[in-house]
Structures are given as C-alpha cells and as structure tokens.
C-alpha cells in the first residue's frame, strides 16, 4: 500500500501548485492558455491517481474492473466510497478521458468548474481510502 500513499503525496503537491496558479475568475482562466494547459495536465494527473488507486484496490480484492467507471463502482461496492459519490468520481474519470484522448474541444467552463472542486474531491477520496485501509488492512490489537 506504500504505492497508494506515495501517489496521494504526489497528488497533493500538484494540487498545491495548481492552487497557486488558479485565477479567481473564469475570465482570467479563459484568457490564459498557460493556466488552461497547467489545469488540464494537473486534472489529468489527479484523476489518473484516483484511477490507479481504484485499480490497485479493486484488483487486490479480486474485483478487476472492466472500465475506469466500473472501477469507481468497485470502490462503492467495497464501501470505500459512498454510493452518492460515484457520480462525482465518474465525472472526474469522464473529463480525464476527454482531456487524455482529446475527443474534441474542451469546454473551458466545465474544466474551470472541475478545477475549482478537484482539491476537495481528491481529499475526500484520499480520506475515504485511508480510512478503509486503516479499518481493513491494519492488524487489530486484541488484548483478550
């Protein structure tokens, strides 16, 4: 599980960097190709960390997902994520696919909105995984 913890640490560094670059309004974001590119890349990295962690946990639990969206559902099934969270993380995976595969022109308003919430979404994901790992993979101390 060391790989998971290292990925989380790396992700937090990227999000801190993004936080220092993000403008306070959409207009400034829209006018800066540099910030757009930084945002796209960091969003892609963060979403890939989420996917990698999903895949790692799912496969270790004998539940190999068929798609990245299915991977999110595996974490809901394992009760790592709450059922209502699946929508948030499926959207993150979907936007990551658009960015990574360049399916078409990026809607900058959607990207900007996603960048404004990605840090909170990532922290929630990270905390949920940490909690589950603590409860399910650490040995218990029974002093009976």
63: Cα within 13 Å, side-chain hemisphere: 14
Long-range contacts of 131-139 (CB under 8 A, 24+ apart): 132/57, 132/78, 132/79, 132/80, 133/1, 133/4, 137/1
Q: What is the pLDDT of residues 21-43, one digit of tens each?
A: 999 999 999 999 999 999 999 99
Q: What is the pLDDT of residues 38-78, one digit of tens each?
A: 999 999 999 999 999 999 999 888 878 888 888 999 999 99
Q: Which fold has domain 2-132?
A: 1.20.120
Q: Which residues contact 95 (CB under 8 A, 6 or more apart)?
A: 43, 47, 110, 111, 114
Domain boundaries in the chain? Answer: 2-132
Q: What is the pLDDT of residues 77-114, one digit of tens each?
A: 999 999 999 999 999 999 998 898 876 678 999 999 99
pTM above threshold 0.85: yes
Asked if residue 144 lies in contact with residue 96, where contact means CB atoms within 8 angstroms, the answer is: no
What is residue 139's predicted lDDT score, i.e. its pLDDT?
55
What is residue 91's predicted lDDT score, i.e. its pLDDT?
94
């Amino acid at each position: 599980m060391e790989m998971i913890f290292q990925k989380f640490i790396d992700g937090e560094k990227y999000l801190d960097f993004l936080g220092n670059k993000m403008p306070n309004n959409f207009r400034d974001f829209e006018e800066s190709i540099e910030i757009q590119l930084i945002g796209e890349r960091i969003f892609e990295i963060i979403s890939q960390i989420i996917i990698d962690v999903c895949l790692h946990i799912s496969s270790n639990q004998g539940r190999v997902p068929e798609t990245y969206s299915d991977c999110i559902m595996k974490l809901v099934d394992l009760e790592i994520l709450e059922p209502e969270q699946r929508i948030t993380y499926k959207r993150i995976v979907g936007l990551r696919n658009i960015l990574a595969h360049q399916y078409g022109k990026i809607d900058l308003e959607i990207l900007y909105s996603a960048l404004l919430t990605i840090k909170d979404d990532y922290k929630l994901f990270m905390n949920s995984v940490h909690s589950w790992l603590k409860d399910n993979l650490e040995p218990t101390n029974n002093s009976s």
